Amino acid sequence: MRLSVLSSRILRLNPQRVLRHPFYPYLRRSSAASSSGGGGGGSDSATANCSSEMASASLKPAVAGNPKLLPRELNEVVGIARKCWIKFKKEAAFAIFTPFIVSLASGNLKLETFRHCVAQDAHFLKPFAQAFEVAEDCAEDDDAKIGINELKKVTLNKLKMHDSFAEEWGIDPVKDATLNPATTKCIDFLLATASGKIEGAKASGKLVTPFEKTKLSAYTLGAMTPCMSLYAYIGKELQIFIDGESNHPYKKWIESYSSDSFQAFALQTEELLDKLSVSLTGEELDVIEKLYYQGIKREIDFFLAQPLEQKCVVPLYGEPNDLEKRHLMIFSDFDLTCTTIDSSAILAEIAIVTAPKSDQSQTANQIARMTSADLRNTWGVLSKNYTEDYEQCIESMLVSEKAEKFNYEALRKALEKLSEFEKVENQRVIDSGVLKGLNLEDIKRAGERLMLQDGCINFFQTLLLRKKNLNADVHVLSYCWCGDLIRSTFSSGGLSDQMKVHANEFKYEESLCTGEIVKKMESPIDKVQAFSEILQQSCSGDGDERRKKKRLTVYIGDSVGDLLCLLEADVGIVVGSSSSLRRVGNHFGVKFVPLFPGVVEKQKAYPAEGGGDPWKGLSGVLYTASGWSEIHAFLIGS
């Protein structure tokens, strides 16, 4: 079997989708091949050219806590500072979703906690100024020296600003002089870097030549820049909560970091890092990446270390009393929620690549299969028909008058049309015979090599590592025709035994698909019924103490087919940018709220002593996440 070729072709498919339907990615690629004049032969040629990609380690899931370095080619497009921010921006979610930042943004952070943070921050600014001084002394370029000197002056001015903060908010310099461990680690890391004690750097601590001095200056900026960039990002993210709000208690703090002057300060720091790094080797740039990553992680730890003696809505499942009282149930779609490519496109690729050529004979005991050319044409026809009929089905759901407020019953009734449509389309696939002869081992190998959305595997690995303490269950609900593909995908991350998969299944004869599908989940109605049945089963069994705990349900999805489950869950989180999902949702009164502002609004209404649960299903509100890092930070924290 040409499975290594197959999987590299799959990974080269364009993951951006306009619709959620089975064959669209394959149609786009085959159309592109045809327009280039290659026809079927051109597509096979492309397959051969990319077969070597299977040897790449990037096909394997990233290990949690060990970020992979970006491709070297990115250096040619952006400087090292922007490159690092692009790579590690997902870590910023873990900062803004800390209890401290969420409470501060909401305005109900206790003043004592804020005072403590400002005092700790002042302690950190002093070594920051020292580090700028070291970087200035080591820099050989006159322009760089001038730039670093300006940054040092700005830092000293910020120290004076902190003195005014201290006076305004009643901070006692003596009482708040004690450093907490997280602040100490930030300071130690920064000063160690400035003194040349850098893990992984050659000739660490020795400054003989001008180049070595410049390199240390770059390393020092590499450790400092993530702090500036992160605070600038936080300032901009929090600005929306003070716009038009004159009484926000922490308006001045937010304005100090969202201001044009601080944004320029952060940008100037990034530009200086780029300037100092121009002459560095690839290995030395890797050292800067690692320093940058360590710097941003220490800043997150700094926020997490702030003593918060009040209730907070984040992480959703993190407070010690929750662990004893709650049963967390996470539900997730698979196609394009977890994956970058629709599973049906993968199955289509397997069918085409492993099919016999027109001049190949098939043995008598084999399941009769179409030739690769016939399969390619048949998949194309199925895809074209599906695309056109899907659009018509969606339009037919929107002919009614737009709802003035959330109307779940009308939405469910409309989605019955889509449910019938999906079932008819699945039967067409079965009747066409395109699935006949697919080998189970080929499917499993393709699943093991399937790339998931960035942060997805890390989230589930972290969640299930904490499963015993968190009392959490994970269910995957999917239209996918083949549950084996899903299970093999998660097996590569060591998760298959801990995630309950609810999907359709292929029928096999001696590991070869007969072309039939065991239909278990074909439609939005099937999904929400499975969702309800799983919840009902979780409540059964009086003898099981876990069943008596309060249930908290989260559903994560990306398409119209997920709408009912998203709305019935206590928290419904939308990933991706499906236009049909938003069109249908908006038509029936569903509100889509960005996750972070939505969390801050919940915190505003959350009483300091706790009280009622702020999350409940069928509210008509869904939360949109930019990616799995946001989901991770919100649900279980850093």
CB contact set of 49 (below 8 Å; sequence gap of 6+): none
Rounded-to-integer distance, Cα 460 and Cα 456, Å: 7
Residues linked to residue 567 through DSSP beta bridges, in sequence order: none
Catalytic: which of 136, 270, 299, 630?
A: 299
Q: What is the dihedral of CA 12, 17, 21, 25, to 10 degrees?
A: -20
What's the length of the chain? 638
Main-chain dihedrals φ then ψ at residue 180, nearest 5 degrees: -85, 165
Rounded-to-integer distance, Cα 176 and Cα 162, Å: 13
Catalytic: which of 117, 138, 186, 227?
A: 227
> Of all helices (H) and strands (E), which one includes residue 30?
helix 24-35
User: Is 516 annotated in the active site?
Assistant: no
> Of all helices (H) and strands (E), which one includes residue 352?
helix 343-354
> Of all helices (H) and strands (E), which one includes residue 506?
strand 505-509
Rounded-to-integer distance, Cα 136 and Cα 269, Å: 12
Rounded-to-integer distance, Cα 40 and Cα 378, Å: 13
Instruction: Take residue 605 and report the two structure tokens written for it.
Output: 């209404």
Instruction: Take residue 626 and report the two structure tokens written for it.
Output: 């930019």
CB contact set of 12 (below 8 Å; sequence gap of 6+): 46, 50, 53
First to last CA, the chain: 42
Least Cα distance to 80 among 333, 271, 355 occurs for: 271
Rounded-to-integer distance, Cα 165 and Cα 278, Å: 38
Rounded-to-integer distance, Cα 270 and Cα 461, Å: 33
Rounded-to-integer distance, Cα 557 and Cα 563, Å: 8
Contact call for residues 608 and 557 (beta carbons, < 8 A) = no
Least Cα distance to 506 among 415, 441, 563 occurs for: 441
Least Cα distance to 455 among 598, 233, 626, 229 occurs for: 626
Q: What is the dihedral of CA 551, 555, 560, 563, to 10 degrees?
A: 20
Rounded-to-integer distance, Cα 419 and Cα 429, Å: 16
Contact call for residues 210 and 140 (beta carbons, < 8 A) = yes
Instruction: Take residue 291 and report the two structure tokens written for it.
Output: 């320093």
How does DSSP assign 442-456, residue by residue? HHHHHHHTPPBPTTH
Instruction: Take residue 296 and report the two structure tokens written for it.
Output: 């941003």
User: Is 393 annotated in the active site?
Assistant: no
Rounded-to-integer distance, Cα 114 and Cα 251, Å: 12
Q: Which residue has the tokens 């120290």?
A: 159
Cα–chain center distance at 219: 29
CB atoms within 10 A of CB 582: 16
Q: Which residue has the tokens 């995957």?
A: 476
Instruction: Take residue 340 and report the two structure tokens written for it.
Output: 């970058």
Q: What is the dihedral of CA 393, 397, 398, 403, to 10 degrees?
A: -160
3-state SS, residue 212: helix
CB contact set of 299 (below 8 Å; sequence gap of 6+): 95, 186, 226, 227, 230
**Catalytic center residues:** 227, 299
